[in-house]
Chains A and B, each alone.
Chain A
């Protein structure tokens, strides 16, 4: 299990060298996005016949930001400073599996190299990681203040009024964000492996044959 320092933009080669269990310290500009954001990206950009004119500027911006970068499943607690700039007060990950219907399409469309969240994701996302060269990076759930410390700057925010603070796209610069690779680009998932072990032990405890 290696410790790797990664900086955005992340190359395909760098991401393919990562294995499950590796610790990653991530630096650079990433974007938060969770339920409303994923639904929006897929419905408005990916599965729609054409991007509506009103959304085109944001689409171009997200394409530029997300290529070679990571999306972070996070709904932060924020504070606005007197000069109008925003700060992250608490910024732990939210449960990722809710984005399973969307994530593979978002990885493919935007060229993501990383998906950051908690709890892991399903088979479709794992396949997308293999196919397009991406990893799932697990942040420590609930370690909100610790993670907020790694967020050095909030560059801007999109869709704050429409989606609300937790659901908006927050564009942030992070430094040494501590993460663990739990799904790699080689088809391995710690989540699947732990689930298989716990399933077997559950059957043992209940006396039910597999």
Chain B
């Protein structure tokens, strides 16, 4: 089965149709801000923009970001063919202006024009013992990527040791440092542990979780809740104009680490938390 066209549709949905839980969180944030404040008018503009983008099938944000595919495919399916179809879909979605050409050659500065390049888009391929093919897509913009960061604990300037309190301290610091530059209010995907590379991947995968899910690890669930509250006490607010909502989601995962290393990796996602998912079973495609 050629999945190119269904994958173009997945990209269209991710780029133009903000997930319902994200939109609801932004609406709740707007209602919490003081009427007439820059924070409230900013969130109102954001919500108007979300509705317009959906109605017109146009990108929510011009920075359609790095397309990050997480593909879980049944044993026996060709990973290479899936990848080739996803690449063809990315090029086609770019031609239809669902995606901005975003892949720049780091040596020459040339834009490839179709979002294909070395390591672009990003693929995580995982073979699973299942009959269902699942493709999750995250579009992660550059502004939020640039304020994403990684700490190595212990981190003396913040008195952050190698424990969950140390994690809490560096996350608050990261959100303070980001101010409005990652297009606040944002969502935090966090990885505790891992190596420097896989930790970022793991942190970004956390961003695929629905906002209202509950972390199965009780310590992490408690930390997520506490950080959500405390990040908002910083008062950075929408776009950094000051206000009551600075982040509207905190999702934490953990990976095993070396005895010598303790990284805390924070993937900051802008308010336009663009994720979409599709499942294919017996030739039927379902989007969610």
Given contacts A75-B63, A143-B46, contact A202 B183 (CB under 8 A): no
A11 at the interface (CB under 8 A from B): no
Q: Known contacts A92-B63, A94-B63, A194-B241; is A119 also within 8 Å of B102 by CB?
A: no
What CA separation (Å) do A77 and B53 show in the bound complex?
A: 13
Tell me the minimal C-beta distance from B51 to chain A in angstroms. 9
Within 8 A of A (CB), among B143-185: 143, 146, 158-159, 169, 172-173, 176, 179-181, 183
Using C-beta atoms within 8 Å of the partner chain, give the interface range for chain B.
Answer: 35 or more
- List residues of chain B with CB within 8 A of the CB of A208: 158-159
B100 touches A165 (CB 8 A): yes
Distance A118 CA – B181 CA, assembled complex (angstroms): 7
Contact A198 to B109, CB < 8 A, known contacts A77-B97, A166-B101, A206-B158: no
Q: Given A201-B233, A206-B169, are A90 and B100 also a contact pair (CB < 8 Å)? A: yes
Flag if A36 contacts B109 (CB, 8 Å). Answer: yes
Q: Mark B86-121, 1 if CB is under 8 A from A, else 0.
A: 000000000001011110100001110100000000
Q: How far is the CA of A21 from the CA of B60 in the complex (A)?
A: 25
Using known A-B contacts A119-B240, A140-B42, determine if residue A166 contacts B56 with beta carbons closer than 8 Å.
no
B254 within 8 Å of A by Cβ? no
Rounded to whole Å, the gap between the CB of A91 and the closest CB of chain B is 6
Pair B241/A149 contact, Cβ less than 8 Å = no
Task: Known contacts A164-B101, A208-B159; decide if A144 and B109 are in contact (CB<8 Å).
Answer: no
CA of A79 to CA of B97, assembled, Å: 7
- B38 adjacent to chain A (CB < 8 Å): yes
Range of interface residues on A (Cβ < 8 Å)? 35 or more
Contact string against B for A residues 187-199, beta-carbon threshold 8 Å, 1 for contact and 0 otherwise: 0001101110111
Which residues of chain A are near B242, meaning CB under 8 Å? 190, 193-194, 197
Q: Which of B46, B59, B60, B235 contacts A201 (CB 8 A)?
A: B235
Q: Which one of A118, A166, A182, A206 lies within 8 Å of B143 (CB-CB)?
A: A118
Cα A138 to Cα B158 in complex, Å, equals 31
A164 to B, closest residue via Cβ? B111
* Residues in B neighbouring A149, C-beta threshold 8 A: 52
Contact B101 A142 (CB under 8 A): no
Question: Does the CB pair A118–B180 fall under 8 Å?
Answer: yes
Distance in angstroms between the alpha carbons of A89 and B60 in the assembled complex? 10
Decide yes or no whether A120 CB sits under 8 A from chain B: yes
CA–CA, A97 to B99, complex, Å? 24
**Among A89, A140, A195, contact of B46 (Cβ-Cβ < 8 Å):** A140
Q: Decide yes or no whether B24 CB sits under 8 A from chain A.
A: no
Instruction: Report B-chain residues with C-beta under 8 Å of the C-beta of A146.
Output: 45, 48-49, 52
Q: Assess the B45–A178 pair: CB atoms within 8 A.
A: yes
Q: What 0/1 readout, one digit per residue, does chain A (151-191) give for beta carbons within 8 Å of chain B?
A: 00000000000011111000000000010101000000011
Evaluate contact between A144 and B53: CB separation under 8 angstroms: yes
**Do A140 and B49 touch (CB < 8 A)?**
yes
Cβ-defined contact, B272 with A205, below 8 A: no
Q: Say yes or no for A76: interface residue by CB 8 A criterion.
A: yes
> Would you call A118 and B179 a contact (CB within 8 A)?
no
Bound CA–CA A165/B62 (angstroms): 11
A75-B236 in contact given A36-B109, A145-B53, A146-B49 (Cβ < 8 Å): no
Q: Which residues in A have their C-beta under 8 angstroms from that of B66?
A: none
Please provide the chain B residues from 29 to 58 with a CB less than 8 Å away from any CB of chain A in the complex. 38, 41-42, 45-46, 48-49, 52-53, 56, 58
Interface members, chain A 5-44 (any B CB < 8 Å): 21, 23, 36
B240 and A120: CB pair below 8 A?
Answer: yes
Closest CB in chain A relative to B229 CB, distance in Å: 10
Nearest CB to that of B183 among chain A residues?
A141
Contact (A141, B236) CB under 8 Å given A77-B62, A166-B111: no
Query: Taking the complex as formed, is A134 at the interface, i.e. its CB lies under 8 A from any CB of chain B?
Result: no
Can you name 26 A-B pairs with beta carbons within 8 Å?
Answer: A76-B62, A89-B97, A118-B181, A118-B183, A119-B179, A140-B239, A141-B183, A141-B270, A142-B61, A144-B49, A144-B59, A145-B52, A146-B45, A147-B49, A163-B109, A164-B110, A164-B113, A165-B101, A190-B242, A191-B240, A194-B179, A198-B234, A201-B233, A202-B172, A205-B230, A206-B159
6 closest A-B pairs by CB? A164-B111, A90-B62, A141-B183, A119-B181, A143-B49, A146-B49
Q: Which chain A residues have a beta carbon within 8 Å of chain B's beta carbons?
A: 21, 23, 36, 74-79, 89-92, 94-95, 97, 118-120, 138, 140-149, 163-167, 178, 180, 182, 190-191, 193-195, 197-199, 201-202, 205-206, 208
